[in-house]
């Protein structure tokens, strides 16, 4: 909150905000001054998988003193990509390129975690080294993504099922990526276990058809995720590790027949490693960007997990305040609203109107348009 005290009408007699989202929160060793988190968002502007200087302004605009930011999904290896111009963190050049971005966020008092990912089968041969097949828990492909008008917008290649003896190498890639993230100056990493990417392809029974110790039972399907958590926590310290999960979502054809049991098993199992946070996507986010009614809830997982719990997906100010006030989450991550409102915490504090997001420029490659040109409150007035 830029070191400012909240407006009078929102401030209790002790000077602490009465808006639940704007109250401080201790997250392991981090003293957060508010609970509004920048959700991880791929912005597809890291040319050649290298973060670019224009990301300095983008992340700086969204930084505040004591605010938590989660960087966009960042590849752990040369087989991890499946989307245009997403950043990586497996080469020295990428680590070096992240440094000024992280330094700039720190200069504004922000706390910055790097989301580390591998897309698995959500890829095609054009993204893979030597045009090889993408890797996954399975050899079943994802069907092409087709628009209502019949136009194919994304095609996926048939994946190659990882052999059991290849799995330690992938776990090691996550470990090294986490080490690199710390070298780049990040405060920690978020392991991307959501949205139908590689880790989720192991977690979900709609995808995972393995017969080894990484498939079949719930315990076996969660093994890959938990071995990554353990390796990363051992490398950089559990107090610097978070994970994102979306047990209820079915993105990239990764649904599960019993998402509640899956979410609960993971929440409980994670306690063993003492990681700093568990970040879960609300059941209402069944498809990308569309909010639907859902009778399911993250509450059992929130209760089971002993660390900081971050909820995300379809939140507005009112809803987020309610989640914190009712103790359903410690922190709330905002995606599209934060993308379009670089000063989102301030706008919530002042009850100011919000900029509308422009979906067409979410994933375009321009270094300014739809990226760093959303106006701040001052410039509107
Ligand atoms: C442009 C864009 C890119 C996204 N990229 C990622 C990503 O890299 N990693 C991830 O876990 N989620 C990603 N998401 C999902 C968001 O983190 C968030 O969960 C989703 O937008 C729902 O929250 P919201 O309703 O606050 O936008 C992305 C969403 C958008 C709009």
Residue 289's pLDDT band, with cuts at 50, 70 and 90, is: low
pLDDT of residue 63: 98
Q: What is the pLDDT of residues 334-343, one digit of tens each?
A: 999 999 999 9
pLDDT at 154 over 90: no
Instruction: Give residue 165 CA to ligand 1 midpoint distance, Å.
Output: 33
Sequence-distant (≥ 6) Cβ neighbours of residue 149 within 8 angstroms: none
Contact 42 CB / ligand 1 (< 6 Å):
yes
Task: Tell me the C-alpha to C-alpha distance, in Å, between residue 146 and each of 142, 152, 301.
Answer: 12, 4, 34
pLDDT at 8 over 50: no
Q: Which atom of ligand 1 is nearest to the CA of 244?
A: 11
Instruction: Please check whether residue 276 is in contact with residue 188, taking contact to mean a CB–CB distance below 8 angstroms.
Output: yes
Percent of the chain residues topping a pLDDT of 90: 88
pLDDT at 5 over 50: no
Q: Which atom of ligand 1 is nearest to the CA of 194?
A: 11
Q: What is the mean pLDDT of residues 102-124?
A: 98
Contact 39 CB / ligand 1 (< 6 Å):
yes
Q: Between 159 and 380, where is the model more confident?
A: 159
Residue having the nearest C-alpha atom to atom 29 of ligand 1: 41
Q: What is the pLDDT of residues 347-377, one digit of tens each?
A: 999 999 999 999 999 999 999 999 999 999 9
Percent of the chain residues topping a pLDDT of 70: 94
Closest among 246, 259, 253 to 136, alpha carbons compared: 253
pLDDT at 205 over 60: yes
Q: What is the mean pLDDT of residues 231-250?
A: 98
List the single range of 17-26, 166-175, 204-213 with lowest mean pLDDT.
17-26
Q: Which atom of ligand 1 is nearest to the CA of 86?
A: 8
Q: What is the mean pLDDT of residues 45-52?
A: 98
Instruction: Please check whether residue 35 is in contact with residue 56, taking contact to mean a CB–CB distance below 8 angstroms.
Output: no
Contact 357 CB / ligand 1 (< 6 Å):
no
- b (16+ CB within 10 A) / e for 104-138: bbeebebbbbbbbbbbbbbbbeebbeeeebbbbbb
Contact 344 CB / ligand 1 (< 6 Å):
no
pLDDT of residue 2: 34
Q: What is the pLDDT of residues 13-37, one digit of tens each?
A: 555 678 999 999 999 999 999 999 9
Q: What is the mean pLDDT of residues 205-229?
A: 98
Instruction: Give residue 380 CA to ligand 1 midpoint distance, Å.
Output: 26
């Amino acid at each position: 909150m830029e070191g400012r005290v909240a407006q009078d009408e929102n401030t209790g007699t002790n000077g602490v905000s009465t808006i639940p989202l704007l109250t401080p929160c201790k997250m392991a060793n981090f003293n957060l001054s508010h609970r509004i988190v920048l959700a991880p968002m791929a912005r597809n502007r890291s040319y050649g998988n290298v973060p670019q200087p224009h990301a300095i302004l983008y992340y700086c605009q969204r930084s505040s003193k004591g605010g938590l930011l989660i960087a966009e999904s960042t590849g752990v290896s040369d087989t991890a990509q499946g989307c245009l111009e997403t950043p990586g963190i497996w080469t020295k050049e990428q680590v070096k390129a992240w440094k000024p971005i992280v330094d700039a966020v720190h200069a504004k008092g922000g706390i910055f975690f790097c989301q580390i990912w591998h897309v698995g089968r959500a890829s095609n041969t054009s993204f893979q080294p030597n045009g090889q097949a993408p890797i996954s828990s399975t050899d079943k492909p994802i069907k092409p993504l087709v628009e209502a008008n019949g136009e194919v917008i994304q095609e996926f290649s048939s994946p190659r099922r990882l052999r059991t003896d290849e799995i330690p190498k992938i776990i090691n890639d996550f470990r090294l990526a986490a080490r690199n993230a710390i070298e780049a100056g990040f405060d920690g990493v978020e392991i991307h276990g959501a949205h139908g990417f590689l880790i989720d392809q192991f977690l979900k029974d709609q995808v995972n058809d393995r017969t080894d110790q990484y498939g079949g039972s719930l315990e076996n399907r969660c093994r890959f995720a938990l071995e990554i958590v353990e390796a990363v926590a051992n490398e950089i310290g559990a107090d610097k590790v978070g994970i994102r999960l979306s047990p209820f979502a079915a993105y990239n054809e990764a649904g599960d027949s019993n998402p509640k049991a899956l979410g609960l098993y993971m929440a409980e199992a994670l306690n063993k490693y003492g990681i700093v946070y568990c970040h879960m996507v609300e059941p209402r986010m069944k498809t990308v960007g569309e909010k639907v009614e859902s009778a399911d809830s993250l509450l059992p997982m929130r209760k089971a997990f002993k660390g900081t719990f971050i909820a995300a997906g379809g939140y507005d100010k009112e809803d987020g305040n309610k989640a914190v006030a009712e103790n359903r989450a410690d922190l709330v991550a905002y995606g599209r609203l934060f993308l379009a409102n670089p000063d989102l915490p301030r706008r919530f504090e002042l009850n100011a109107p919000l900029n509308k997001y422009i979906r067409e420029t979410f994933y375009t490659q321009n270094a300014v348009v739809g990226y760093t040109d959303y106006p701040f409150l001052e410039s509107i007035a």
